[in-house]
Every structure is written in C-alpha cells, then in structure tokens.
Structure 1
Amino acid sequence: MTITRLRVAAAVLGTAGALVAAVPAAAMSGGQPVTDPGTAPWVATLALRGDGGLLQRAGCGGALIAPDRVLTAAHCLDGVDPSRQEVHVDARTLSKDPGEVRGIRGVSVLPGYRIIPSPANPDDPNDASAANDLAVVLLDRPVTDVAPLPVARHRPAAGTAVSFFAHGTTGHTPDWRDDVLHRGELTTLDAGACTAGTPATVDTASVLCARDSNGSGGATVTGCFQDSGSPLVQGGALVGVFSFGGETAGRSCGEPSAAYFADPAAFRAWAYAPALPREPYPGGAPTVTGSPAVGGTLHCTAPAWNRARGGNPTTIRYSWATVTTAGPFTIPTPIAGAEGPDLTVEPDLSGTWVACLVTAANGAGTVTALSTAVSVP
C-alpha cells in the first residue's frame, strides 16, 4: 500500500465529459489484503460513470459516515463534474464486486480548503501539500445495509496505533493497483515529527501524520496513487482522510515516508451538518456552436445548473482545450490564451479535436464541465 496525493496539475476527464481529477491520486504500497467480508464495509470508492470495469474507472477512496453521505478528500472533487461521477460502497474487489452503487446529489467542500505550493519547489504541483482537505459527498439514495463509520470526536494522540484502508496503486508492476481492499498498520506522529519529514508546508491544525515504523507484511506501508480520500481508522472511528504523502519529499511509491491525513475530528460538526451548502451542479454538458473550420469562430454556452442538487454559481469561467482519449478518460490540453466563451480557430488547431470547459464556483466548491469535442478539419 503506497499512498500519494491526487495531483492538482493536469485535468483528466471521462469520455462523457466528467472531470475526474488533476492527475492520479494516492495509493497503498505494502499492507495486507482484507479477506474478511465483515471488515471495513464502509469503505467507499469514487469512480467515473461508465460501462467499463470499476478497476479501470475507479479514482479516490472515502468512507461512509452516514447512510446518505461519504467523506473524502477535497482535492478529489475540486474542479470535477459530480454529475459524471458515482460512488461504490463496500466494493471489496474492484474487478468483480461493484458494491452498493450510488449517484451524487451534491458536493460540499470544507471552507478553507486550499492547495499549498511547496516552499522548496513552488512550481511543481506534485510537491504541494493541502489544508482543510475534506469534502462531503451527498448520495442520491441512502445505503441502508452498511453501518456507517462514525467520525471520531478527538484526534488520536501521538503514538496511537491506527489502520489505513485503501485500494490504490501498489507502486509495483504488473499489479499496478490493489484490486482487493488492503489494510496497513501505522502509528500517529507528533507535530514535530510530522513537519520534519517533508519540505512541504504542513498545516498541523488540519493535518495529522502517521507512519509505518515496522513494515506490514514485509513491506513498509506508504502512500502512492489512487487512494486519496481513503480512511484512517482507530477504535471503530474515522480519524483521518488521506491527503498527501512522500511525493512532497521526492519519495516514490514504497519508499519509507510519513502519510499525511486531513483531520475529520476537527471538522466533525461540519461533516454532519444537516443542511450543507453545495457547490454548483451541472445540469448537462456545455454546448459548442459555430464553425470549426480554420478562421471560423466557435462559441461555448454554459450548461443549465441543477438547483435541486447544487448552489448558484458566483463565478463562471470559460476556457478551451484540445482533447485526446486514453481508455475511458479524456485528456484536455489547454489552448494558450483561449479564455472566454468564443474561440477563433487558428491554423495550428487543424486536425485536432477541440472542446470548451466551463468552470463554476461558489463558497462550497468548484466544478468543471467539458463539452463534447468538435473536430477541426
């Protein structure tokens, strides 16, 4: 089980226009497979909606904290279109067990969430840390046959044994991802040891650290890709949500490092608030009209906003990108200077596919919706 935070640089989208993340999320290297079906049924997996296998579509982790809500990392959903995502609860083996599948009826990001550039390398988002890195996912239907994992009331003291549950990247080939749910044993660190392990800025008010000092199953449990948002548990309660890991200190998957978790106990009242504000929720995809021929002009129209599932946007921004596909994912490459609802088609775009992105934000978070791509002859 190796864990590294979901990067915040390059956008990756589903073929239906779902922004799923900015580069891959963290995952577990080391640890042991969880074979007991009664252990950790509250583990959640966020995934692109689609027809492909869950192992190929899965992204971040999370934990069911109430029948109708999952707690995950904010960076897993910041700038993502929630209408193109789904949540799987108790999916123990991703390749063959989808678990309980739910849609998303709303997302609320913790106030104060922010990405903190590394003082040592501020231009590389891979080295960045995060503060207040939590988000609540409201499910379209409650999960009634799985007992939720309660959020702890207090942060565990330094030296406490804790367990980390994740489905992420192993850091090794050919088994690049933990298909079967894994568990790793860690020990919490004090603030001094937490901040000493990385040149990144660690917001100790909202972040707690844990480390495998003994190794689990012969391999040290660390952070890697695809496990951002995954739960840290102690005494039957959620004490951490994975945020970032050894990548902030230049370490690769499997290299010994502390793991850094958002502290849900510090924000327990917010996580359980009955009427959370919600980020904008696209009611569809943006539309592109006009001429895609070189010299022509394309126009982007924002989607309608689903007021039943999200709040009103306070800002809306338009941008354009060329897009390529890789399996179930669409990878947009921003077109330099192409901001605003209109795009003049320049000769260098000939032979590409072009789409517009509409980014809407309010106090509860940010979403980005992608249009269907159009071909430039």
Structure 2
Amino acid sequence: MSDHSRPPRRSPARFAAGASALAAALTALGAPAGADPAQERVLGGAEEGAAPWAVALTDDAGHQFCGGTLVTPIKVVTAAHCVDGRDPAALRAITGRADLRDTGGTDGAVGGVWVHPEFRDVTEGYDVAVLTLTAPAAQQPLPMAEPGDAEPYRPGKQARVYGWGRTAETGSSSEVLRSAEVPISSDADCRAAYSDYEPGTRVCAGAPEGGRDACAGDSGGPLVTDGRLIGVVSYGTGCGRPGTPGVYTRIAAVSSDVAARL
C-alpha cells in the first residue's frame, strides 16, 4: 500500500523493496483485547515444503526485499515495482527455503527481467513482472488464474498471502515464510479505501476489521486460492489497518501477457 512499500507495500517502498505482503502473513490469534491490530497478527508460518513455489527475492548481498511465485521451473512472477530498473545479475531467487537462515532449497541466478510494458506506477495497474532463471528450480511451480476466471475474485472468497516481510508496521522482516488468510474485498470497498482504485488489473483483499495483511517486504509475493496464483502483492496503506485492504495485481487480467513470457 504505498505506505508499506506496499510502498508499495509492499513496494520497494512498502514494499520498499517489496513491501506489502506479509504482514500478510500474520493471523490474529488470541490477541489481548484492545491490542493494536498491527501487532496482533500471529502469522502462521508455512511448513517447509508447504509452499514450495514461494520465492524470496534477494539482492546480490543476500538481503531479501520482495517475494515472488515460481510458475514454471525457470519463471518467477513478481511485482514490476520490485524489479523495474534492476540489473538481473544483481538478483537472486530463493525457492524451497522457508527459513532464510537455512541453506537448503534452490538459490537461483536471474538471467532476465520482463516488466509489463504498461506498468508506470503501482497505483496505475499492470504491476507485474516475470524473471527468467538461468537454471531450473527443483520446486513445484504454482498454476496461475486464467483469463476470464471470476470465482477466485468473488467478494468474501478466502485467499492466502505469503511472504517474508514485516510482521507489524514498525517491526522487522521475518526470517521465516509466513502466511495469512485474507478475504477478497468488493470493488466498492476497495474504492472506499483508495479513491483512485479502478478494478481492471487490480483486486483488494483484507479483513474489514484489520489484523491480517501483507506488509513491507512482501511486495511481489503470492495471493493464492484453490491452489492457484490469483494475485501479486502490490501496494496498500499501512499494514493490517481496519478498512484498508491490500491491493494486488489481478493475475487473471494479465495472465495472457505473462503466459507469453513463459
């Protein structure tokens, strides 16, 4: 949300480097009454191998800044704002490593970066990019939503967001992959939170009461339902604030363009 990187949240700003999604990985469980929703999230860490297609993007010094999704053995879908203007040689795509302190999984070099040609800014849509790895990853890819798919975006539909981002607006990023369940929001609710929101290539998701959301460091990460990638963490306002769902790139709206790069 632009605040988080969701500044993009998930942006290189809320994301300032990919900022939004995982505050998303926080699930409010048994928080004390009156607790700050941004602190209530107790993200459910994904078990090793539970999300083998979840990708941690790091710079060449090993610092994680965004997320992504393995959609073929050599292709990773992420947010355009995470990689626009970056040198592919300075990027690494880590798959199969839920705990970034470990050394398992695949540490993949990036040979090429495609940014959607209509991307201008996170708030204008088309916030999607495809990375090409120099060698196949061993992990299982995740299928994408297809053009015309509507059910995954039905308001109230439960989805799950994944990432290694902050677990609170002012907290630190997580070393362990986390996830949170977030319901798909209606376009009307999205527009109420973001006056410039237009559906098309975007979709919102988040609990109306707050407490579950993506956050800085989660940008580019996956929004998943029914075993398919339906969204990419793009931007938002804060992390887990009531009435301010996260904004995601709607994969069904750009899957044809993405598929052409696979």
Q: Fold-level match, TM-score > 0.5?
A: yes
Give the C-alpha shift of residue 24 in structure 1.
Answer: 3.6
One-letter amino acid matched to 1:36: E
Q: In the alignment, does 2:107 pair up with 1:101?
A: yes
Alignment of 1:117-266 (within 5 A): 129-143=123-137, 145-153=138-146, 154-155=149-150, 156=152, 157-171=154-168, 176-199=172-195, 201-213=196-208, 220-246=211-237, 252-256=238-242, 257-266=244-253
Give the C-alpha shift of residue 207 in structure 1.
Answer: 0.3
SS at match of 1:196: helix
Q: Given the two structures, how large is their TM-score scaled by the length of structure 1?
A: 0.57
SS at match of 2:165: coil
Q: Conserved in 1, the CA contact under 8 Å of 2:111 and 2:132?
A: yes
SS at match of 2:121: strand
Deviation track 1:218-248 (CA, whole Å, cap 9, x = no partner) reads: xx112321110010001000000000011xx
Distance 1:176 1:114 in 2: 29
One-letter amino acid matched to 1:37: E
Change (3 A) 1:221 1:6: closer
Give the C-alpha shift of residue 21 in structure 1.
Answer: 11
Change (3 A) 1:233 1:190: same
Give the C-alpha shift of residue 203 in structure 1.
Answer: 3.2
Output the aligned Cα RMSD: 2.4
Residue of 92, 109, 112 corresponding to 2:118: 112
Structure number with the bigger relative contact order (C-alpha 8 A, sep ≥ 6) is: 2
Q: Given the two structures, how large is their TM-score scaled by the length of structure 2?
A: 0.81
Displaced runs of 4 or more, over 6 A? none
Give the C-alpha shift of residue 6 in structure 1.
Answer: 5.3
Change (3 A) 1:195 1:21: closer
Unaligned runs of 5+ in 1: 13-19, 117-128, 247-251, 276-377
SS at match of 1:79: coil
Aligned length: 234
SS at match of 2:205: strand
Distance 1:198 1:187 in 2: 17
Which structure's residues are more often strand, by fraction? 1
Q: Conserved in 2, the CA contact under 8 Å of 1:169 and 1:224?
A: yes
Corresponding residue for residue 84 of structure 2? 78
Q: Conserved in 1, the CA contact under 8 Å of 2:71 and 2:77?
A: yes
Which structure's residues are more often helix, by fraction? 2
Q: Conserved in 2, the CA contact under 8 Å of 1:152 and 1:239?
A: yes
Alignment of 1:212-361 (within 5 A): 212-213=207-208, 220-246=211-237, 252-256=238-242, 257-273=244-260
Change (3 A) 1:97 1:172: farther
Corresponding residue for residue 361 of structure 1? none
Is the deviation greater in 25-34 or in 106-115?
A: 25-34
